[in-house]
Structure 1
Amino acid sequence: MKPIETIKVLAASVIAVVVMVGIARFSYTPMIPEMVDALGLSKSVVGMLATVNYAGYLTGALLITRISDLGLKVKLYQLGLVVAVVSTVLMGYTTDIWLWFVLRFVSGLSTSAGMLLGAGLLMSWLIKNNQKSELGVFFSGIGLGIVLTAVLAELIKDPFAWDQQWVIYGLVALVLLVPAWLWMPDYRACALPRTGNAAAREERSRFIIILQLAYFCAGVGYVVTATFLVAIAESMPELSGHGWLIWLIAGLSATPACWLWDVFSRRWGQWTALYLAYTLNAVSILMLILNTSMASVMLSAVIYGASFIGIVSMMLAMVGRVFPENPSRPMSRLTFSYGIAQMLAPAVVGYLADVEGNYSHGLWLTLLVMALGVVMLHLARQAKDRETAALSQTG
């Protein structure tokens, strides 16, 4: 495999993540204050729009667990790229809340294609071509997407109305779609030999079930900050007008963190790396509760960006290596749990914010869930050790 070909494949994968996750999902975060100011949306509606988006993400994850045909996966992955562009542009052409719900749901479907089908297809390609089976570079696209939406948000918020801003995000996604499509390899040639017992072994795996619970907790920790970070910052007098900057900092932190976590994991072990990532994510939430100064919120954004991306990257890469024949399936099972968290948490936190007038109670609840996630992560590690020991004895 020529180095230039590898670079093109990785670049296409990263750009696709920027389109289907960075823009299709994360453009909504800096758009929240814009839409609230222009249209008077309540916190509950803001939270429900995020919830519907993750309902689409959840539905996509569930569907992907049922798909084993590699050709179909490739077609759906390509469709996800197109849907990400269209669903983003159309957000600016209506003020009907129900149509927004539909568009955010469809956008969530495209995000699941980008995250899960994209990660699984790339993992198969890496294994097939004797490359390191790590997804740090792939998930750097999430951080790049955050950076892109943050910078765009600042550039376009004054010259353009909220509806025009949505269209601009969509047009940028359209431009990025071109190299993502042209540099995409023939993933259908990356099918690995099937032994016939991988799916059954996955279904019986207690490790996967407990890991799903741990990942659910991580989903809560991720989505509450992802949805409300800019709004939280803008609600603070000393940070008013700087919400985009906080979001940019989170993205800049997330972008290099993926491969840094890969390096750390290789040196100290994947479980130690995951414990640390979960703990840091909890710390970032605690900082938002205890200190509302600009320096504290900025540092919280740095820690958040670096930690959530590490959890996602390491978790999905780990199950992809454990079940290499069809990596998208266990990745989707984990993301199904992640998606449930992302569907429920924004609605709950948005409701609490409406009732209490601030995000404090919602953040405390999120912190408690993350602490539970560390416990579940440790239980998953113990289950994996037992399953590995049992396999070695039967083998």
Structure 2
Amino acid sequence: MKPIETIKVLAASVIAVVVMVGIARFSYTPMIPEMVAALGLSKSVVGMLATVNYAGYLTGALIITRISDLGLKFRLYQLGLVVAVISTVLMGYTTNVWLWFILRFISGLSTSAGMLLGAGLLMSWLIKHNHKSELGVFFSGIGLGIVLTAVVAQLIKDDFTWDQQWVVYGLVALVLLVPAWRWMPDYRTCALPKTGAAGTGEERSRFIRLLQLAYFCAGVGYVVTATFLVAIAEAMPKLSGQGWLVWLIAGLAAAPACWLWDLFSRRWGQWLALYLAYTLNSVSILMLIVNTSMASVMLSSVIYGASFIGIVSMMLAMVGRVFPENPSRPMSRLTFSYGIAQMLAPAVVGYLADVEGSYTNGLWLTLIVMAMGVVVLHLARRAQQRQGESVAAG
């Protein structure tokens, strides 16, 4: 495999993540203040629009757990790219809330294709071509997507109305689709032979269930900030008009963090890296509660961007290595839990914000869930250790 070909494959994967996750999902975050100002949307509607997007994401994850045919995965991955563009553009052509719900749901389906099918297909390609089975480069596309949506939001907010802004995001996605499609390898040639599963089925099942629960907690920590960070910043008098900058900083922190977490994991171990990432994510939430100064919110966004992306990258890479013959399936099982969190948490926090007039109690609830996640993560580690001891004894 020539280095230039490897670079093209990795670039295509990253660009696809920017389209299907960065734009299809994250363009909504800087659009919240624009739509609220123009249309007077309530916090509950804002939260529900995020919820249906994650419902689509969850549905996609469920579908992927049922798919083992590599050719079908590849075709659905390509379809996800097209759907990401169309569902984004059409958001600007209606003010019907129910049509928005449908479009955000469809967008969520494309995001699951980009995240899960994309990660699984790339993992198979890396293993097939004797590259390190790490997904840090792949998940850097999430951070880059955040950066892109933040920059575009700032460039177009004064010259375009809210509906035109959605169309602009869609056109940017269309332009990016071209290199992602052209440089994409034929993943159908990357099928790997099935391997014997280490440890008993009961032990592996317990390990995966615990990992799913820990990932659910991480999903709550991720989605509350991802959905409301810009709105929280804009609600602070000192940060009015600076929400886009807070979002940009989160993306700038996330983009290189994936590689840094890979390096940290190699040196200190994946479990210590995950403990640290969970802890840092919790700290970023706490900072939004206890200090509303511009410096504190900016630092919180840096820590948030660097930590959530590390959790996603390391968790999915871990199960991908455990199940190399079909990595998308266990990734989807974890993402099913993550998707439930992403579906429920924005609606709950949005409701609390409507009732109480602030996001404070919703953030406290999120912080408690993240603390529980650290405990469950430790239980998952112990389950994996017992699994290893069982294999050695056998």
TM-score normalised by structure 2 residue count: 0.98
Distance 2:384 2:165 in 1: 47
1:269 corresponds in structure 2 to 269
Taking the aligned partners of 1:371 and 1:197, their CA distance within structure 2 comes to 31
Matches within 5 A, 1:1-395: 1-195=1-195, 201=201, 204-394=204-394
- Post-superposition CA distance 1:20-73 (Å, at most 9, x none): 000000000000000000000000000000000000000000000000000000
For residue 131 of structure 2, what is the amino acid of its counterpart?
A: Q
- Counterpart Cα distance in 2 of 1:273 and 1:191: 30
State the AA in 2 paired with 1:211. L
Q: What is the CA–CA distance in structure 2 between the aligned matches of 1:53 and 1:196, rounded to whole Å?
A: 37
For 2:333 and 2:165, the matched residues in 1 are separated by: 34
Cα distance in 1 for residues equivalent to 2:175 and 2:347:
33
CA distance in 2, matches of 1:380, 1:202: 13
Residues 214, 373 of structure 2: 8 Å contact kept:
yes
Contact 2:233 2:240 in 1 (8 A): yes
* C-alpha contact 2:52 2:104 (8 A) present in aligned 1: yes
User: How far apart, in 2, do the equivalents of 1:15 and 1:332 lie?
Assistant: 21
Following superposition, the deviation at residue 353 of structure 1 comes to 0.1
Distance 1:91 1:286 in 2: 34
Change (3 A) 1:248 1:353: same
Structure 1 distance, partners of 2:205, 2:75, is 30
8 Å contact kept, 2:203–2:387: no
Counterpart residue identity of residue 240, structure 1: S
Structure 2 Cα separation of the partners of residues 203 and 65 of structure 1: 20
The more displaced of 384-393 and 160-169 is 384-393
**Runs of 4+ residues over 3 Å off in structure 1:** 195-198, 200-204
Q: CA deviation at 1:392?
A: 2.5
3-state secondary structure, aligned to 1:205:
helix
SS in structure 2 at match of 1:9: helix
Find the aligned partners of 1:66 and 1:388 in 2 and give their Cα distance.
28
Structure 1 spans left out of the alignment, 5+ residues: none
- The amino acid of 1:205's aligned partner reads S
Distance 1:100 1:293, change over 3 A: same
Partner deviation per Cα, 1:202-233 (whole Å, 9 max, x = no partner): 99521100000000000000000000000000
How far apart are residue 170 of structure 1 and its match? 0.2
Q: Could you report, residue by residue, the CA deviation over 1:186-214 in whole angstroms, capped at 9, with x for unpaired residues?
A: 1000000124768x949952110000000
Q: Given residue 267 of structure 1, which amino acid in structure 2 is its aligned partner? A: R
d(CA) in 2 for partners of 1:203, 1:166: 47
Size of the aligned set, in residue pairs, is 394
Contact 1:202 1:208 (8 Å CA) reproduced: no
